[in-house]
């Protein structure tokens, strides 16, 4: 009887051990399967996070490039408008109005017409470039200084043009007299006293006209030219400050946008939120897979 009880006890113990072993095997296998599923899910989640972050990063970089490009475009437009006006103003002054009327005589006086035409072309180009600058530049101070420079240069323009036109008339009449007197078909010494007196009087009057035209020309020209140059120099200095401020503003905006991008890239909202959800999803998968095995 004792032996039967012992046998039964042993069998019961063996059965318990088998049940425990089987349970352990089931638990181990379930844990392994849960871990495998967990790894697959984690891999999918990380892949999704990576893809989404890559898309957002590219979008942020694209927005930064667009923002920077727009700022650079605005800066270049304003800079080019200022440079175009300053260039045309200098061309008008130096190439057009820096004129020595005494360089013309009865031989080359016809060139005065071309010079006056060039001066008008330079004035028109300056007007055009100033209008573009008015539309492009926000600085009222710079536009005002540019306008004053153009008006003072226009005073010089009117003085030079009027002087050259009057001088051209006297030179034209002088050329007519000389051509007539020196003509082979015209013998001045055979003229009557009255005709000789007439031509001599015409010659004296012409010389007096030339003297009046040229009298004080250099002094008045320098006075007007000096004022125009002073205005131009003031415009130049203020324009430098304006361009420097514009450049600093563009750099500042680009830096702010870059810092914002770095902040988003280093700790973006979607990335942090996704990673925060990752731990909870991992625990859920592990618990679900383990429970299904028992």
pLDDT value, residue 156: 97
- What are the structure tokens assigned to 281, written together? 């999803």
- The answer to whether 89 touches 150, Cβ cutoff 8 Å, is yes
DSSP state of 94: I
User: How confident is residue 43, by pLDDT bands cut at 50, 70 and 90?
Assistant: confident
Query: How many whole angstroms separate alpha carbon 170 and alpha carbon 215?
Result: 14
3-state secondary structure of 1: coil
- What are the structure tokens assigned to 149, written together? 């420079």
- The answer to whether 285 touches 41, Cβ cutoff 8 Å, is yes
- Domain spans, the chain: 60-267
- Which stretch of DSSP H or E encloses residue 257? helix 217-267
- Which stretch of DSSP H or E encloses residue 10? helix 2-90
> Is the pLDDT score of 21 beyond 60?
yes
* Span 153-172, pLDDT tens digits: 999 999 999 999 999 988 88
pLDDT value, residue 59: 65
Selected residue with higher pLDDT from 73 and 172:
172
Nearest by Cα to 107 from 182, 179, 200: 179
Average pLDDT, rounded, for the chain: 78
Nearest by Cα to 239 from 71, 89, 70: 89
pLDDT value, residue 112: 93
- Mean pLDDT for 251-260 is 66
Exposed / middle / buried, residue 65 (Cβ in 10 Å: 0-12, 13-18, 19+): exposed
pLDDT value, residue 159: 96
Nearest by Cα to 285 from 40, 80, 29: 40
Selected residue with higher pLDDT from 35 and 137:
137
Please state the pTM of the whole predicted model: 0.65
pLDDT value, residue 272: 40
Nearest by Cα to 119 from 103, 100, 105, 99: 99
Least confident of 25-34, 178-187, 239-248: 25-34
Tell me the range of 4-18, 57-71, 79-93, 181-195 where mean pLDDT is highest: 79-93
DSSP state of 199: H
> Is the pLDDT score of 250 beyond 50?
yes
Least confident of 29-38, 106-115, 134-143, 278-287: 278-287
- Mean pLDDT for 88-112 is 92
Nearest by Cα to 172 from 114, 107, 119, 118: 107
> Is the pLDDT score of 144 beyond 70?
yes
pLDDT value, residue 8: 66
Nearest by Cα to 262 from 254, 251, 250: 254
- The answer to whether 1 touches 245, Cβ cutoff 8 Å, is no
Percent of the chain whose predicted confidence (pLDDT) is above 90: 35
* Span 175-231, pLDDT tens digits: 887 777 776 666 666 667 776 677 677 777 777 878 888 888 999 999 999 999 999
């Amino acid at each position: 009887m004792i032996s039967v009880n012992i046998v039964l006890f042993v069998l019961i113990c063996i059965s318990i051990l088998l049940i425990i072993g089987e349970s352990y095997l089931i638990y181990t296998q379930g844990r392994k399967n849960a871990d495998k599923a967990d790894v697959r899910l984690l891999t999918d989640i990380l892949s999704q996070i990576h893809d989404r972050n890559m898309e957002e990063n590219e979008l942020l970089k694209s927005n930064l490039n667009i923002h920077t490009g727009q700022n650079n475009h605005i800066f270049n437009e304003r800079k080019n408008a200022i440079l175009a006006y300053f260039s045309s103003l200098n061309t008008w002054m130096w190439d057009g109005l820096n004129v020595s009327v005494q360089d013309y005589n009865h031989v080359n006086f016809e060139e005065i017409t071309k010079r006056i035409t060039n001066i008008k072309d330079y004035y028109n180009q300056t007007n055009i470039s100033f209008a573009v600058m008015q539309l492009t530049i926000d600085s009222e101070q710079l536009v005002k200084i540019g306008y004053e420079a153009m008006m003072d240069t226009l005073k010089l323009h009117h003085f030079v043009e009027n002087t050259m036109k009057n001088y051209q008339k006297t030179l034209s009449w002088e050329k007519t007299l000389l051509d007539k007197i020196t003509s082979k078909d015209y013998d001045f010494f055979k003229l009557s006293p009255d005709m000789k007196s007439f031509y001599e009087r015409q010659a004296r009057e012409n010389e007096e006209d030339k003297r009046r035209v040229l009298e004080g020309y250099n002094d008045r020209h320098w006075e007007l030219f000096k004022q125009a140059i002073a205005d131009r120099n003031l415009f130049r200095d203020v324009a430098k400050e304006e361009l420097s401020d514009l450049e600093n503003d563009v750099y500042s905006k680009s830096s702010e946008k870059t810092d914002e991008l770095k902040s988003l890239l280093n700790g973006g909202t979607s990335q942090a939120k996704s990673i925060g959800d990752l731990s909870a999803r991992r625990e859920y998968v592990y618990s679900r897979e383990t429970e299904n095995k028992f």
